[in-house]
Amino acid sequence: MTVFPITLLTGPVAPLAGSEARSGIVKTRVVRPLALGPEGFEGDEQADRRVHGGIEKAVHHYPQDHYAEWRADLGALPPLAAPGGFGENIATAGLTEAEVAVGDTFRLGSALVQVSQGRQPCWKLNHRFGLPDMARRVQATGRTGWYYRVLRPGTVAPGDRLELFDRLAPDWTLRRLWHALYVDRMNLGELEGIAALDVLAEGWRKYAVRRLDSRRVEDWSARLDGTA
């Protein structure tokens, strides 16, 4: 895992098909260099800033590798025709949640970015794909993608490369985190490790802390289905 050419994507907030909501989930290829700051790329938008965007979710990365897997599962749905279907800002081939760990730091153009957390899929994916359970499918497969925080702002251009710079917690791959949070959900040893993982976004550490305190798994219905 060293250097990966990127596809760069952004998108505006727009009405979400099949819903009364608005969303910035539709991203398209960028053809010029963009400034990347602490809260993301210039010109990129998120409709609900309470749960999307922000410092710990400044850049969304989704592996191109997953597109073929989704087409095999679901057929040739329109959002699977090209990168941008999952609301990602950058896409690469050859790099997935199995290889990437929290705290992995990359050069991206002249910027420096660091993996902060995996993606928690939400109900807007259901409308994007026209499938009532798409968010649940994404969570169940672990094909979630991930987010970066921006350590050093810079400029990123189409065709720039994502180059590994440092690894702070290589044992804590995103696949391992996903397995602990969504599969082996009350493994107390894993939860203790997550709670103590300083390089992980605070919100994700809090999930582990709450489970350790309550001995219960949180209800995902509102996030995945858009219901209480």
Percent of the chain's residues with pLDDT above 90: 90
Q: What is the pLDDT of residue 124?
A: 95
Model pLDDT, residue 108: 98
Cβ neighbours for 54, distance < 8 A, ≥ 6 positions apart? 39
Kindly report the number of other CB atoms within 10 A of residue 212's CB atom.
14
Long-range contacts (CB closer than 8 Å, 24 or more residues apart) made by 166-171: 166/104, 166/105, 167/101, 167/103, 167/104, 167/105, 168/102, 168/103, 168/104, 168/105, 168/199, 169/101, 169/102, 169/103, 169/197, 169/199, 169/200, 170/101, 170/104, 171/101
Please give the average per-residue pLDDT across 150-161, as a whole number: 97
Please name every residue paired with 173 in a beta bridge, in sequence order, or none if there are none: 101
pLDDT in tens, 159-190: 999 999 999 999 999 999 999 999 999 999 99
pLDDT at 186: 96
Q: Which residue has the higher pLDDT, 122 or 52?
A: 122
Q: What is the pLDDT of residue 2?
A: 75
* pLDDT value at residue 1: 60
Q: Which residue has the higher pLDDT, 126 or 50?
A: 126
For the segment 32-80, what is each residue's pLDDT rounded down to a tens digit?
999 999 999 999 988 776 667 899 999 999 999 999 999 999 999 999 9
Q: What is the pLDDT of residue 51?
A: 65
